[in-house]
Every structure is written in structure tokens, then in C-alpha cells.
Amino acid sequence: MPGFEFFGEAEKQQVQDVLDNGILMRYGFDGMRQGHWKAKTLEQALARRMQTQHAHVVSSGTAALTVALASAGVGAGDEVILPTFTFVASFESVLALGAIPILVDVDDTLTLHPSAVEAAITERTRAVMVVHMCGSMANLEALQAICSKKDLLLIEDACQAIGGAYKGKPLGSIGDIGCFSFDFVKTITCGEGGALITNNTTFYENAHKYSDHGHDHMGNDRGAEAHPFLGYNFRISELNAAVGCAQIQRLDEFIAIQQKHYTILREGLAAVEGMTFRTVPEGGEENYSFLNFFLPTETLAKKAHQALGAEGIDGCFYWYDNNWHYYREWEHLRNKKSLGDLPQEVVEQLPDYHTTDFAISDNWVGRTISCLIKLGWTEEDVHQRATKMVAVIKGCI
Ligand SMILES: *Cc1c(COP(=O)(O)O)cnc(C)c1O
């Protein structure tokens, strides 16, 4: 997944452009910036690559999710359905708006289980946030059918799957709004950054205004601009956007390398009896940032994960016990523990996550091991890694 492995001359040149003219801000200063518009250029490149009408770049993936929800009108007391297996940013973005994160099970795709989504819909549900975890996607056709039947927004969190596709369309471009992260460990990076893409012009207009204090961005005098609604500051700096301008050009090169490494590992591991790979929905094309597989039992998965670590095979994750990616360790959410008081809607409507039953998720995530695919490996490295992994896992089963 990490684009930071390949931080090179192109990235440095883009940053140098910004340093040379000294305009570190994405808006205004038209005369002084000598034609350098890094955030805008990144937006144009992203919209083109993702085949959407609009792209808007912000300060992080978490900001992108928050702005996406806000732009679509999600607010206090609205329920947003999201998976038990994700990153904490998913529920943080919902809570930031006073909305209610409704966790539901994942299935063998390691993303939202369509029937679990359907069962969680209430009169207050406004949106379904699908998270394409670890390089692969949900059954988007099933989720789209549910959302259109119930008139719900479909927000795609494609932060971990940029460059993947579903039925020929880039991930992120399929729902009402798609979000990406360009933080330091993502497939392409800005250091810190994020983006949303959409074909909905109203959502896009709301997004660029909301993420810049409500500025309507009309005319050439920032101070004189109007503020049609309350906003916030989720702007990206030109320095960060500059890195992204170089990295977006390399996205397809990175994906091709990941696919090559992933394929070698997968073909090697296919020799291990009893192990199965994560389900990729029909028509899905992963971004190959992780290779994800299931062991027959939770006990064996724990054992295999430990053994892989002990043998020095780095980059293998066991999410079931992870603090940041699985609901079991989110006691701060469960206990509604913030620094100040939470909005009344959240206090009253948040489900009691001490008592909810996510046995279906536990069955899948408890047996999952994910291996990060690195760009910098040589082909020889990957073959050796595959051989070692096969031996270690066979020794455990
Ligand atoms: C990284 C990530 C985010 C948040 O992105 P940041 O840029 O770190 O704020 C959101 N969702 C998922 C699934 C992620 O992996």
C-alpha cells in the first residue's frame, strides 16, 4: 500500500515549485503563484482518473468523510450505517456531525454484509458508508439496490482501495460520493491529505464551501466572498497537494507492482490446504494493497499470525485484536468517552455497543490474516516470502 516507499524526484520537483513561489495556500494570490495551483491540479487529475465530474481535495481522509457527509446534508441525529471492520475515522466523521454511527456486520468480503445493512435501517437512517477495506470491495450492486429502494445515500470509503474497480468503474465513483486518504501509509500519499469525488454538482458545491469556512469562492476577493452556510476548515496546503500531484501520476504504476507481488504470494499460498482467500465480489478488481486470507479457526489464525511474526515475516496483520480497525477494542466508543459532553442526540441514540452481537463479523475477522504488499520488494524477495509463509502456515495447521 505505501506510496511513501517511492518518494522521489518528481515529488521533490512539485514541492520545489511551491517553495520557489512561496504560495502555500490553495486559494487566492493568483498573481504571485506563477501559474502553480497544486490542489486544483490534483483535483483535475483525480477527477480524470476516477471518471467523475468533480473532485475536491482536503486535509485528510477523515476530513473527506466528514465533508462528504456534511455536503449531502447529514446532521445531528441522522443514522449512518457502517461496518464493524474499518478504521476509527469512519465513526469519528459521523460523530463530528452529531450523527449516529450504526455498526453492522461484515461478511466474507470483509466489508458490509448487505443483509445486515438492510436489517439495520430505521426511519432515521440517512446514509450507508461502505468501507473497501484492505484493497477490496463490497458487493456494491446489492448495496446500491438497498440504498435506492430506501432512498439512502451511499458513501464509499475507498481510502484503502484507491485504484481498484467494480464492474469497470473506479472504486469511489460508484456511490453518491467516494472518499480517499492520502495519509503517509496509503497507496498514494500527500504526507497528509484526502479527497472526495462525486458526479453530484450540489454535493461538490457544498463540499468546497463547507471545507473552507463556508466561502462561496465567487470572484477574486476572498474577504468579500459570501458564506451561504456555516462551514469549517478542512483545507489542504499546497505543499501537501504538490506531493499528491506527483503521486497520482504513479498510481497505475504502483497498482501494477502490487498486483505482480500479490499474485506471486497468492499463487504460492494456494498450496496451503485449509486456507481460503477473501471473497472478491463478481466484477471486482482489487487494488492489491493487501493479500487477505482466512484460516479454518480463530485459534489457528492467532497461531499462524504469531508464527509469521516470530519468523520475521513483517507486515502481516491480525485485525481481530487491533485497537484501530475492529469494534472489539473500541471501548472509547462503547463507553461514549469524549473530552467534553457529546451531543444529546449521540448520547440518546447511540446503540449500547456493550450488548450488540457481531458474531458474524467475529467469525470472518477472527480468522483473517492480511499481508501488506510492498512496492519495494524485488521479485526474488516475494518468492522467498511466499515459500517461507507456506512453510510457517503449514506448520501451524
Ligand atoms: C486511512 C483511512 C481513513 C482516514 O484517513 P486519514 O487521511 O488518515 O484521516 C479513513 N478510512 C479508512 C478505511 C482508512 O484506511
CATH number for the domain that contains residue 245? 3.40.640.10
Q: Kindly state whether residues 282 and 332 are assigned to the same domain.
A: yes
Q: Kindly state whether residues 227 and 256 are assigned to the same domain.
A: no
Calculate how far, in angstroms, residue 113's C-alpha sits from the geometric centre of ligand 1: 21
Question: Which of the residues are catalytic?
Answer: 186
Q: How does pLDDT run across 155-173, given as a tens digit for each residue?
A: 999 999 999 999 999 999 9
Cell numbers that stand for 125 in this block: 437512517
254 HSE (CA, 13 A, CB side): 27
Q: How confident is the model at residue 208 (pLDDT cuts 50, 70, 90)?
A: very high
> Strand order of the sheet with strand 165-166?
169-170, 165-166, 284-285
Q: What is the pLDDT of residue 190?
A: 97
* Ligand 1 neighbour 87 (Cβ under 6 A): yes
Q: How does pLDDT run across 255-303, given as a tens digit for each residue?
A: 999 999 999 999 999 989 999 999 999 999 999 999 999 999 999 999 9
Q: Kindly state whether residues 343 and 214 are assigned to the same domain.
A: no
Q: How many domains does the chain have?
A: 2
Asked whether 329 and 323 are in contact (CB, 8 A), the reply is yes
Q: Kindly state whether residues 222 and 278 are assigned to the same domain.
A: no
Which residue, 226, 250, 274, sits at the end of a domain? Answer: 250
Q: Kindly state whether residues 287 and 148 are assigned to the same domain.
A: no
Asked if the model's pLDDT at residue 389 lies above 90, the reply is yes
The domain of 386 spans 252-394
Calculate how far, in angstroms, residue 179's C-alpha sits from the geometric centre of ligand 1: 9
Residue 5: Cβ within 10 Å count: 14
Cβ neighbourhood burial of 133 (10 Å; 0-12, 13-18, 19+): buried
Q: Kindly state whether residues 246 and 296 are assigned to the same domain.
A: no
Asked if the model's pLDDT at residue 4 lies above 90, the reply is no
pLDDT (mean) for 80-90: 98
Q: Kindly state whether residues 150 and 19 are assigned to the same domain.
A: yes
pLDDT (mean) for 122-146: 98
Q: Kindly state whether residues 208 and 120 are assigned to the same domain.
A: yes
Calculate how far, in angstroms, residue 234's C-alpha sits from the geometric centre of ligand 1: 15
Which one of 66, 162, 181 would you pick to mutate in the ligand 1 pocket, going by the greatest count of ligand atoms within 8 A of its CB? 181
Which residue, 250, 266, 290, sits at the end of a domain? Answer: 250
The answer, as to whether pTM is greater than 0.85, is yes
237 HSE (CA, 13 A, CB side): 10
Fill in the amino acid letter for 259.
Answer: Q
Which one of 87, 289, 324 would you pick to mutate in the ligand 1 pocket, going by the greatest count of ligand atoms within 8 A of its CB? 87
Asked if the model's pLDDT at residue 319 lies above 70, the reply is yes
Which one of 160, 162, 322, 327 would you pick to mutate in the ligand 1 pocket, going by the greatest count of ligand atoms within 8 A of its CB? 160
Asked if the model's pLDDT at residue 3 lies above 80, the reply is no
Query: Mean pLDDT over all residues of the chain?
Result: 97
Which residue, 212, 228, 250, sits at the end of a domain? Answer: 250
Query: Rg (Cα) of the chain, in Å, rounded?
Result: 21
Q: Kindly state whether residues 165 and 91 are assigned to the same domain.
A: yes
Residue with cell 438497498: 146
Listed in sequence order, the residues at least 6 apart from 323 whose beta carbon sits closer than 8 Å to its beta carbon are: 329
Specify the ligand 1 atom closest to the Cα of 183: 7
Q: What is the pLDDT of residue 1?
A: 61
Asked whether 227 and 40 are in contact (CB, 8 A), the reply is no
Cell numbers that stand for 216 in this block: 462561496
pLDDT (mean) for 100-108: 98
Q: How does pLDDT run across 19-33, given as a tens digit for each residue?
A: 999 999 999 999 899
* Ligand 1 neighbour 155 (Cβ under 6 A): no
Fill in the amino acid letter for 86.
Answer: T
Q: What is the pLDDT of residue 220?
A: 87
Q: What is the pLDDT of residue 79?
A: 98
Long-range contacts of 143-148 (CB under 8 A, 24+ apart): 143/112, 143/114, 143/117, 144/174, 144/175, 146/114, 146/117, 146/118, 146/121, 147/175
Q: Kindly state whether residues 328 and 195 are assigned to the same domain.
A: no
Q: Kindly state whether residues 268 and 119 are assigned to the same domain.
A: no
Q: What is the pLDDT of residue 212?
A: 98
Nearest one of 188, 185, 171, 373 to 264, comparing CA atoms: 373
CATH of the domain at 293: 3.90.1150.10
Asked if the model's pLDDT at residue 148 lies above 70, the reply is yes
Fill in the amino acid letter for 241.
Answer: A
Calculate how far, in angstroms, residue 62's C-alpha sits from the geometric centre of ligand 1: 6
Give the Cα separation of 111 and 371 in Å (integer).
Answer: 17
Q: Kindly state whether residues 273 and 148 are assigned to the same domain.
A: no
